[in-house]
Structure 1
């Protein structure tokens, strides 16, 4: 029963953390995604994306595609944090894992997280890939179109395997950096860390997340936006997309949009982990586990 209640606490706290992440990070995520997927020459860097988006679509253009992650992020983050907690318990019965064990648990959680993250990301990317034209589609129309034309696997779950490939190293790096920072702060402040220490630890984890996986995120966005699904095995289409990006934009193309991603990771990851940890601590007091 204690194990079940811990998982419930992690699910609920993950939902709160996920909502905080979307509300704080969506504008910079829109800039990041458009830097990855916009036709060549459309924008001249992240600041130009910001200016054109505000000019052509208004402030809420930066929140385009938010409905998908806001609706889905509760499930995504709930699954992520619950899978991470379960993975830690599978790896070791002891609460204090080594950083290598933390990385393994994070990788396992990332693989599980991709099940829900893939369709949420696909809808978000396709909404962000619209630039304020009169024929821009609403989320409902995009979902109906993808389902009607391509079905579940090639439509709704498009980019699933590259999402798996992204999430495994991303969350291994994410949780390792977060735990490392958190433990450093704990040596000075004890187990009850101040909120700013949780924010700082979350920011460190967020930066590590993107540095661990960014080229695969570029591939994922391109695959999910394309009019037709990828062909071949996942390894083949991921390798093909990486070669195509390098041929089009050089090695730097693999990191297009990285700067807004890193900027986004600081407040988004910080708010996610702070909200998660504070909610979980509250639930632990209420439930006793």
Structure 2
């Protein structure tokens, strides 16, 4: 097997481990974040109220509502992401260490590729998290079947694809740039074989940069994916229209609703993602020699 192909296979495998770690660690705060974005106005007073009401009315397992979609899909999503990032780095420069600008470009390219799988995973997750413990709540398979039957692949399963891509491009440019910057700083002090806590810290820094780079677009994505009907017009038109609608309803602050639990979530979730990826990648490197 060619070396570049084996590298990509290793990145696919390591990415799946990183993705599973991300979902298991971060899902409860992701549920709070999504409900902050999509809940009817006045339903909750803030993130803590979402947490207490959800646990009181629906039980603690409701914080993991919608987890099946990302847990089933995240292996593919993160495998694609890390593999696309590795390929993008090799395309940009096959020689030596990339500059941070080149890292940002590779991250943006990986984010664009990642949107292909991230969009349906996010759509089903949001629609599950948008159910509040009523008797009429639906299981994931019912939601998936209805979306396909009523709207088909493009307007149903892939709803929100263009806004997901618009989110992923700056998000992963910021994500990988912050991660690599932090990792290089630690490497100067501790050498190339970083301790696990340094990988966790670097991943957490990347996770914070991810959301600060893209959060308003995440709000728009969640609202579009939860709507009963698909958006109309071109992607630029409906994204701009949704941004205006959020500002009209809640002011500029509405574009950042749910950001606090999201940032808190990003610290353990992104940290565990990269730690799991790097440790798995190092193991595979020692096993395969690539």
Q: What interval of TM-score do these two structures reach, taking the shorter chain for normalisation?
A: over 0.9
Cα distance in 2, alignment partners of residues 258 and 93 from structure 1: 37
Q: Deviations over 1:116-149 (max 9, x none)?
A: 0000000000000000001100000000000000
1:28 maps to 2:36? no
Cα distance in 1, alignment partners of residues 44 and 142 from structure 2: 27
User: 1:275-286 maps to which residues of 2 (within 5 A)?
Assistant: 275-286=276-287
User: 1:134-283 maps to which residues of 2 (within 5 A)?
Assistant: 134-283=135-284
**Shift, 1:45, TM fit:** 0.2
Cα distance in 2, alignment partners of residues 168 and 281 from structure 1: 27
1:100 maps to 2:132? no
**Shift, 1:150, TM fit:** 0.2
What is the aligned partner in structure 1 of residue 79 from structure 2? 78
Q: Deviations over 1:6-65 (max 9, x none)?
A: 000000000000000000000000000000000000000000000000001111000000
Cα distance in 2, alignment partners of residues 106 and 243 from structure 1: 28
**Shift, 1:95, TM fit:** 3.2
Q: Deviations over 1:202-253 (max 9, x none)?
A: 0000000000000000000000000000000000000000000000000000
1:112 maps to 2:122? no
**Shift, 1:94, TM fit:** 1.5
| SS of aligned partner of 2:43 | coil
Cα distance in 2, alignment partners of residues 238 and 95 from structure 1: 39
| SS of aligned partner of 2:40 | coil
| SS of aligned partner of 1:127 | helix
What is the aligned partner in structure 2 of residue 5 from structure 1? 6
Cα distance in 2, alignment partners of residues 144 and 32 from structure 1: 26
Cα distance in 1, alignment partners of residues 92 and 168 from structure 2: 19
What is the aligned partner in structure 2 of residue 131 from structure 1? 132
| SS of aligned partner of 2:134 | coil
Q: Deviations over 1:159-195 (max 9, x none)?
A: 0000000000000000000000000000001100000
Pairwise CA RMSD: 0.3
What is the aligned partner in structure 1 of residue 43 from structure 2? 42
Cα distance in 2, alignment partners of residues 41 and 49 from structure 1: 11
Cα distance in 1, alignment partners of residues 64 and 260 from structure 2: 18
Cα distance in 1, alignment partners of residues 270 and 238 from structure 2: 30
Using structure 1 for the length normalisation, give the TM-score.
Answer: 1.00
Cα distance in 2, alignment partners of residues 112 and 169 from structure 1: 13
| SS of aligned partner of 1:40 | coil
What is the aligned partner in structure 1 of residue 18 from structure 2? 17
4+ long deviations beyond 6 Å: none
| SS of aligned partner of 2:232 | coil
Cα distance in 1, alignment partners of residues 124 and 227 from structure 2: 12
**Structure 1 unaligned spans of 5+:** none
Cα distance in 2, alignment partners of residues 270 and 94 from structure 1: 28
Using structure 2 for the length normalisation, give the TM-score.
Answer: 0.99
